[in-house]
């Protein structure tokens, strides 16, 4: 059995897509959702079983608890988590947590890194910046997580066109579609390459 923990800060639509994707795979289990946001939509989605009968436990933490990485590492280790998936998680992952799971934390960023990445570049801000810069394309980047925002080794990218008339909401919709199409599959591919714990 391969075990995944998902970190999410917001709506949780990617967490839902990933959970649904693996719901009929007996060898993969989403064991925990972790969020820094008590209002996060992902909590409600989990309560509703992500639309596929998967009621994954949710842990909510504040900044102090997140910085107390020993406790988080202990929790993830006790659940025998193989892979940590960031799905719309907006905080920097502390170095001890990165080091406790080398090559086992991945993130999705809603743009074509290295463009439009770094501190403050998350969620809708990214799409606003893409439109303001009059980019003709945007996309997604799936990458391993290191101690810096959006700088880990890139695993996969996919792009979509941005029309001159597109609003940030239009770009967000296109990018979300790319995320749903690719993130669950790429998570599966990363799982397949992980060495045994
Ligand atoms: C997604 O577009 C994801 O790429 C982005 O937040 C959104 C979360 O949507 N992540 C980041 O910006 C991370 N820096 P969701 O909560 O509906 O999955």
CA distance 17 to 14: 5
Does ligand 1 lie within 6 Å of residue 14's CB atom? yes
Decide if pLDDT at 155 tops 90.
yes
Residue 56 CA, ligand 1 centroid: distance in Å: 19
Q: Choose the residue to mutate in 7, 34, 45, 88 for probing ligand 1, maximizing ligand atoms within 8 Å of C-beta.
A: 88
- Taking residues 68-85, report their average pLDDT: 97
141 CB under 6 A from ligand 1? no
> Is residue 182 within 6 Å of ligand 1 at its C-beta?
no
Distance, CA 193 to ligand 1 centroid (Å)? 24
Question: According to the annotation, is 46 in a ligand binding site?
Answer: no
* Alpha carbon separation from 188 to 28, 99, 150, 194 (Å, rounded): 9, 22, 21, 10
Tell me the sheet residues that pair with 33.
Answer: 6, 58
pLDDT at 130 over 90: yes
CA 88-93-99 angle, to 5 degrees, is 135
Answer yes or no: pTM beyond 0.90. Answer: yes
121's CB contacts (< 8 A; 6+ apart) are: 111, 129, 149, 150
Q: Does residue 36 have a known ligand-binding role? A: no
Q: Give the C-alpha separation, 16 to 21, whole Å.
A: 8
Instruction: Write down the pLDDT at residue 195.
Output: 87
pLDDT at 197 over 90: no
* ipTM summary value: 0.99
The pLDDT value given to residue 104: 98
Is 13 annotated as belonging to a binding site?
yes
Per-residue pLDDT tens for 85-118? 999 999 999 999 999 999 999 999 999 999 999 9
pLDDT digits (tens, 9 = 90+) for 158-194: 999 999 999 999 999 999 999 999 999 999 999 999 9
């Amino acid at each position: 059995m391969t075990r995944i923990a998902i970190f999410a800060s917001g709506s949780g639509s990617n967490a839902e897509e990933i959970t649904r994707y693996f719901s009929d795979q007996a060898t993969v289990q989403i064991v925990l959702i972790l969020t820094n946001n008590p209002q996060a939509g992902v909590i409600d989605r989990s309560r509703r079983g992500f639309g596929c009968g998967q009621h994954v436990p949710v842990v909510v933490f504040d900044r102090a608890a997140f910085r107390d990485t020993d406790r988080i590492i202990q929790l993830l280790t006790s659940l025998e988590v193989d892979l940590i998936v960031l799905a719309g998680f907006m905080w920097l992952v502390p170095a001890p947590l990165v080091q406790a799971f080398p090559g086992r934390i991945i993130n999705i960023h809603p743009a074509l890194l290295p463009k439009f990445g770094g501190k403050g570049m998350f969620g809708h801000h990214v799409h606003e910046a893409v439109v303001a810069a009059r980019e003709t394309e945007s996309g997604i980047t799936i990458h391993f997580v290191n101690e810096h925002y959006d700088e880990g080794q890139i695993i996969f990218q996919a792009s979509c066109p941005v029309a001159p008339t597109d609003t940030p909401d239009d770009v967000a919709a296109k990018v979300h579609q790319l995320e749903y199409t690719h993130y669950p599959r790429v998570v599966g591919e990363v799982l397949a390459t992980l060495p045994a714990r």
